[in-house]
Amino acid sequence: MSKPILSVLAALGLLATAPAYSANLSQAPDGDYPDFTYAAESAVEAVVYVEVTVTQTYQAPQIDDPFFRFFFGDDFAQPQSRERKGSGSGVIIRPDGYIVTNNHVVAGASKIQVTLNNNKTYAATLVGTDPATDVALVKIDADHLPVLKIADSDKLRLGEWVLAIGSPLGPQLRSTITAGIVSAKGRSMPNYTGEFKIESFIQTDAAVNPGNSGGALVNKKGELVGINTAIVSTTGSYTGYSFAVPSNIVKKTVADLIDFGSVRRALLGVTMRALDEKTAQEMKLSSLDGVYIVEVSKGGAAQKAGIKEGDVLLSVDSKVITGTSSLQTIVNGYHPGDVAQVKFVRDGKTHVVKVTFTGELEPTGQTLDDGTVAFYGAKLKAADQKTLAALRIKSGVEVVSVGNGKLAAAGAEDGLIIRYVNDQAVSKPQDVVEAAAKAKRAVVIEGLTPSGRSVFFALAKEQ
């Protein structure tokens, strides 16, 4: 179209024209360009490079050729060992040398070496690990070290700026800093497995690569909000997604490792699923917040508090449950024996009960703090003379608490008096443990209920 025609159309108002636009950066509001210099320069001093040595043992192939064995001897086929190097990152959380990292960084390590940002290198000892959260704690012999303040990760907001600090791809890229935003919270990571899965990861788009594991995720103030743990990638390198263990989980896990040497994890004793619209409508709920209880463990904390299958849990100590990972995170903040107020809905009515959290099953045969002996999740003690006289028997072992293990699953109840295990008479807890250990397959228990009724239970042999 010629210029004269365009001029005529414009004059007649028949030609649409776009308004002129001129970017004026001086009008941009203050704070549009975040300054990470303070957070980066202060936090990087507390992030370390972790190098591990793993000694692997392997069996050399057996060669039966007599001629070969004549020259090389029988020792050639003996187990051989070799060393493998690995590396990751860590964060100094106490000035006296405590450093948090990932469990998968130090798992199986025979030697751990830590290099600070000032290039000083120390031998480190392993304090403890928690595979469920992929958190580990090591210690070096040093004082007056720079530390990162641990922030409340629950206060993180979607879209908030964060920095990832670590040593991606080995020592040549030590103390690398990348920036991104919080992309999501409470993420369950694909293919993550563990006996107790605490799946409530912070997802960010800060660039993280192998070697960043165990490094710091910090906010704009330079405070620790997470420990970088993993990436989701089809190539093995960063493709836009990284995950970190929230600092609130790290803080509780580390405190347990320092105080007890292992994590004392509270258990609610439920199987759950996320709410869907159909269930919410049937139960006349105003939102999809909460979790639906599919199953309640016998003898568990939830059952003892009166929670049943089909209930919908809404909150724990006023902390709103937004989904399954949310409940896992909340419960993980408690210790066995702690008491919490749990709100739930049943038949359209809201109820509040006190729940006393239980702990993980103690190893069978272990003597507990109260003097009882652990047996398949239950607690045993020798029956006292008054109980034996009431049942008109000479000896037996009392089940003080059936717990929530195999004995409970078989139908046993508190107060059961065990008389025989695989036809062997028992009079003290250790008799029960030893008789069960000798069983090749099933463990058959004969006993009396508190009312004097004879009962039998069969348990699968514990592997």
Q: How far is CA 462 from the centre of its chain?
A: 25
Active-site residue, from 89, 167, 213, 242: 213
134 among known catalytic residues: yes
Active-site residue, from 87, 89, 130, 134: 134
Main-chain dihedrals φ then ψ at residue 315, nearest 5 degrees:
-160, 160
370 among known catalytic residues: no
Tokens standing for residue 281: 């409508």
Active-site residue, from 104, 154, 335, 338: 104
Angle, CA 86 vertex, CA 85 and CA 91 arms, to 5°: 140
351 among known catalytic residues: no
Annotated catalytic residues are: 104, 134, 213
